[in-house]
Structure 1
Amino acid sequence: MNSGAGSGSGGTSGAVPTGSHSGAPTTAKTASTSHTSAAPSSGSSTSAPGAVAGKDATVVIGVGTVRVVIYEDYRCPICKTVHDQIQPVLNTKLAAGSIKVEFHAIDLIDHSAGGKGSLAAGNAASCALPAFKFQPYREALFAAQPSETDDAFADPNELITIAKTVSGLDSPTFEDCVRAQPYAGSIESTYAAEFGSGKLVGVPSVFVNGTQWKVPSSGDVAASFTQALAAAGA
């Protein structure tokens, strides 16, 4: 169900720039230079072919010239493993201003195994962006990840409880966003465009300047990712 694998884990802390919602869902092969890490903003996802009405769930962080695109599912254990190992690399490169990272939440496990937790968690992560808490809440979601067969993230109360561990995030605005799921349509649209169409087959799927990085099945995942960034100029 999920492609890519990694072993071991690494730290995920570190200050990184805040991000913005992009104007419309994009594919990993289409460059976008119109979004920066300035104050977060929400965009309509109706401007792209096949997009649906609602807020765009895509989150863009950083101002660098090397573009990293990550498709991930918060219910996916391999996504967590890879995240734990490459996030310190991302943090370093973001702090240096050498990369721009585009995050796409995917509800792949919902589609393949049932449930709604992937969709709900992806929506909640985007809900955290206006409070400038996308990265810490994303970290908290991976840290609190249930087993793949446990659809705990489908419960909005669980997502809100996790938010209470992130200082300054939980608020009536955030809680309303978690329950209303304004980003759900965008997440479903991205799934249909990239995975339902067969363009991508598993998560995590990571692209560096349009070229897919092959996640090593063994060895030093962080070193492999660092090499891929260096080859792209970051």
Structure 2
Amino acid sequence: MRGRLSLLILTGALAAGCTSQGTVGPAPGAGSGPGASTGSHSSATGAPTSGSSPSGTASGSQTGGGSVPGEDATVVVGTGKVKVTIYEDYRCPPCKAVHDQLQPVINAKLAAAGIQVEYHAVDLVDHSGSGGKGSLAAANAASCAFQAAKFQPYREALFAAQPADETVDAFADPAKLISVAQTVPGLDSPTFEACVRTQPFAGSIENTYTAEFASNKLQGVPSVLINGTQWPVPSSGDLATAFKQALAAAGA
């Protein structure tokens, strides 16, 4: 199964996304129905949880589900009753565009204990015509940062450092991911660097791709689900306002 980055056109809203169909088309979720609410590892017992802290603290390592061994790459933040599930790829420009608009809303809802957010970083672009290994490497590094209680700051730094062109596989170089970590106070350490280089979360990340994208349960990234139902991404208007309205309708 191959994925491909589609064209992103933002005029105050998301118009297209990174699809797994190998074609340029509408963003996943634009007028879509229910989607899978969890990745292949999110149901693992005792997945790391950070309470309501937006930075995240790890509560230990798990075994990722599926046939590929590895630590569970699922990141869960917050304790609210409304569950938001996000699938994203740090090489994918549409993921950055959606993140930039939704993250202030997410931060506010986390601070108010209104939502729980489950993050799945995936390697869709690596499986596309662009090839490479940067999506997988960056996703693994984000879970390494979660272990160090620096997930959100490092996630922000990854998106800020994202090459504008998806074909530039800069994140495949461990030195690049470590240099990004050096911009997050208190993150870079021998433990973090070893985690970046050995990629203990790689099996879990690959399993999520296989379970959710190669199987066509989800059509592309970014995919955002609210209480297990894929959120239809608006084709016009204010994305943040639409997201807030959707969360309010769900009880957050």
Q: Which of 125, 131, 143 is the aligned partner of 2:160?
A: 143
Deviation of the 1:74 alpha carbon: 0.2
CA distance in 2, matches of 1:99, 1:5: 29
Please give the TM-score of this superposition, normalised by the length of structure 1.
0.86
CA distance in 2, matches of 1:82, 1:6: 10
For the residue of structure 2 that corresponds to 1:166, the secondary structure is coil
Q: Deviation digits for residues 130-158 of structure 1, max 9, x if unmatched?
A: 21100000000000001211000000000
1:210 aligns with 228
For the residue of structure 1 that corresponds to 2:230, the secondary structure is strand
- Structure 1 gaps of 5+ residues are 10-26
Provide closer, same or farther for how the CA distance between residues 200 and 2 of structure 1 changes in structure 2, counting only shifts above 3 A: farther
Provide closer, same or farther for how the CA distance between residues 51 and 63 of structure 1 changes in structure 2, counting only shifts above 3 A: farther
Contact 2:46 2:62 in 1 (8 A): no
Q: Deviation digits for residues 59-92 of structure 1, max 9, x if unmatched?
A: 0000001000000000000000000000000000
Q: Which of 205, 211, 215 is the aligned partner of 1:187?
A: 205
1:98 aligns with 2:109: no
Q: Which of 114, 123, 127 is the aligned partner of 2:144?
A: 127
For the residue of structure 2 that corresponds to 1:118, the secondary structure is helix
CA distance in 2, matches of 1:157, 1:193: 30
For the residue of structure 2 that corresponds to 1:191, the secondary structure is helix
Deviation of the 1:51 alpha carbon: 4.4
Matched residue type, 2:210: A
1:22-41 equivalences in 2 (<5 Å): 28=37, 36-38=49-51, 39-41=57-59
Deviation of the 1:44 alpha carbon: 2.5
1:68 aligns with 2:68: no
1:229 aligns with 247
Contact 2:84 2:117 in 1 (8 A): yes
For the residue of structure 1 that corresponds to 2:116, the secondary structure is strand
CA distance in 2, matches of 1:97, 1:51: 35
Contact 1:5 1:82 in 2 (8 A): no
Provide closer, same or farther for how the CA distance between residues 34 and 184 of structure 1 changes in structure 2, counting only shifts above 3 A: closer
- Structure 2 gaps of 5+ residues are 14-35, 52-56
Contact 1:6 1:82 in 2 (8 A): no
Deviation of the 1:193 alpha carbon: 0.3
CA distance in 1, matches of 2:12, 2:177: 26
For the residue of structure 2 that corresponds to 1:157, the secondary structure is helix
Matched residue type, 1:41: S
1:174 aligns with 2:187: no
Q: Which of 139, 162, 175 is the aligned partner of 1:157?
A: 175
| Number of equivalences | 215
Identity %: 67
CA distance in 2, matches of 1:141, 1:7: 24
Deviation of the 1:6 alpha carbon: 4.6
Q: Which of 42, 45, 53 is the aligned partner of 2:63?
A: 45
2:217 aligns with 199
Matched residue type, 2:114: S
CA distance in 2, matches of 1:204, 1:61: 18
Q: Which moved more, 1:76-85 or 1:213-222?
A: 213-222
Contact 2:73 2:204 in 1 (8 A): yes
Q: Deviation digits for residues 148-192 of structure 1, max 9, x if unmatched?
A: 110000000000000000000000000000000000110000000
CA distance in 1, matches of 2:209, 2:232: 20
CA distance in 1, matches of 2:211, 2:68: 11
CA distance in 1, matches of 2:147, 2:38: 27
Matched residue type, 1:109: V
Tell me how large the CA RMSD over aligned residues is: 2.1
Matched residue type, 2:150: K
